[in-house]
Structure 1
Amino acid sequence: MTEPGLEARAAQGATTAVALFCHGGTVASVEPPRERALSLVRMRAVEQFVSAAADDRGLTTCLLRYRVAGWNGVAADAHADVRWALDRIRAEYGDMPVVLVGHSMGGRAVLRAGGAPQVSAVCALAPWTPAGEPVSHLRGRTVTIMHGRGDRWVPAALSADFAVRAQEAGARVARFTIAGGHSMIRRAHVWHSFVRDVVLAGAGLEPMRPDVAAALERAGAASLAVDL
């Protein structure tokens, strides 16, 4: 694959907002993502769930297909692909709100891209956020994070540290933890419903649900550990 791919599920009628879904990957690989990779299958399921809930309300959903499966160090290939996707979305739909949703490596990629002008909200699911991951670009942005407390692939402590630093940098952050691991299979409906609600609010189609709104309004590190 010489460039990324974008699988779009068009809204019924005119598009008023776009949600971009970005799946996980691996630390280093220049091979294209496998079609049956669990990270891709799971993110496609989340995207389809959100689309079914909102495509008659002007929301177009897009699933990003990376060029390669790895982050690959300073190349940050997944982040480069998210930037490419945002350019394509702007060219196709104009300047309208875009909600970014990413899992694992995709969570890292959407958090990196969260400062782009058209991004209205970022939803990171079990994001891989190594120590020192940049946060200053998220000042003034709305960021929601959900992480499994039993995640063995990407420890929840990483997103806890990231959330605190992002909040200190001026982002509006709500972080939730949930029983289960990295794959979002246990209590899948809770993961799906969380993303749906955050996307609809970020797209301006619904008010933010009360627990997320309350978490976003609270300040301090103690507010960044809400259990679902």
Structure 2
Amino acid sequence: MAIRKIDDRESVPAGPGADARAVLSIVPASGETRGVALVLHGGRSKSFESVRGRHLSPARMLPFARALHNGGARDGLAVWTLRNRYRGWNGKDMSPVQDARWALSHISREHPGVPVYLLGHSMGGLTALCVADHPQVEAVVALAPWLDARTPVKPVAGRRILIVHGTMDRWTSPANSLAYARRADGVAKSVDYVALKGAGHFMFRRVGLWNSLANGFILDTFAARSGHDPRGGADAFRSLLPASAGLPVVL
């Protein structure tokens, strides 16, 4: 599996810690690229410390990226994993939003018109929902996202959305996530919300179900667009979350 990296400090706005770099790790599809999954990690409320590969937030997303590649690469799904410049959201700077838009601009240049699927955890879930208005984005998975009543739903208009939140999360609010899902219902193309009983913020408990839901949703959406069912991913996902599911689904 050949991994290509894009590392470009000049493509994102300068600021505190201006020597920090956003890094994209790209695992290509086998053959023609029919879709791109962009994986976004979590972080802190405020920090201009550079993100390192050894930090837990980006490392936590690597199994999701590997599973997406294993499930979709042979049918044309490329997987791009973003490592942000800074560990923090940083208030009005919204640093990870700047980085995610930089990543999306690279995807657009390399794969114009190809559908993009966003997968983010915690701060990365908030970021994914904020940048969903990019014209190539078709679906968003937000795992234990960091949301509040001010989080706008306009960016997800016309997109498929899945939010998964553990009922025992003490870092971000399951209630805020469910409230966001209800606000987005009727704005987004579809909204699914799953409450995982007994699961916390860092996805240690019921890890298999976190992965099955997140990756299955993206593979299901990709299958509907491409006409391929990557290794049964669509069927497996819909066995967990039927199309008739309401808000919330408790698993």
Q: Same fold (TM over 0.5)?
A: yes
Alpha-carbon separation, structure 2, partners of 1:212 and 1:43: 25
2:193 corresponds to which letter in structure 1?
R
- 1:94-126 per-position Cα deviation (integer Å, ceiling 9, x unaligned): 210000000000000000011211001011100
2:248 maps to which of 203, 212, 225: 225
Alpha-carbon separation, structure 2, partners of 1:170 and 1:189: 27
Alpha-carbon separation, structure 2, partners of 1:170 and 1:15: 26
Moved more, 19-28 or 176-185: 176-185
Matches within 5 A, 1:1-228: 1-179=19-197, 180-203=199-222, 204=225, 205-206=228-229, 207=234, 209-210=237-238, 211-215=241-245, 223-228=246-251
CA contact (8 A) 2:39 2:79 kept: yes
1:219 maps to what in 2?
none
**5+ residue gaps, structure 1:** 216-222
Structure 1 stretches of 4+ moved >6 Å: none
CA contact (8 A) 1:50 1:192 kept: no
Moved more, 11-20 or 36-45: 36-45
1:218 maps to what in 2?
none
Alpha-carbon separation, structure 1, partners of 2:78 and 2:220: 14
1:227 corresponds to which letter in structure 2?
V
- TM-score by structure 1 length? 0.91
User: Matched residue pairs, number?
Assistant: 221
2:249 corresponds to which letter in structure 1?
V
Alpha-carbon separation, structure 1, partners of 2:69 and 2:53: 20
- The Cα of 1:131 is off from its aligned counterpart by 2.1
CA contact (8 A) 1:39 1:183 kept: no
- The Cα of 1:85 is off from its aligned counterpart by 0.6
Distance 1:96 1:161, change over 3 A: same
Alpha-carbon separation, structure 2, partners of 1:79 and 1:171: 22
- 1:143-166 per-position Cα deviation (integer Å, ceiling 9, x unaligned): 111001100111211101111111
Alpha-carbon separation, structure 2, partners of 1:79 and 1:24: 12
Identity level (%): 38
Larger Rg: 2
SS in 2 for 1:115: coil
1:36 corresponds to which letter in structure 2?
R
Q: CA RMSD in A?
A: 1.6
Alpha-carbon separation, structure 2, partners of 1:170 and 1:95: 20
Distance 1:170 1:58, change over 3 A: closer
CA contact (8 A) 1:123 1:144 kept: yes
**5+ residue gaps, structure 2:** 1-18
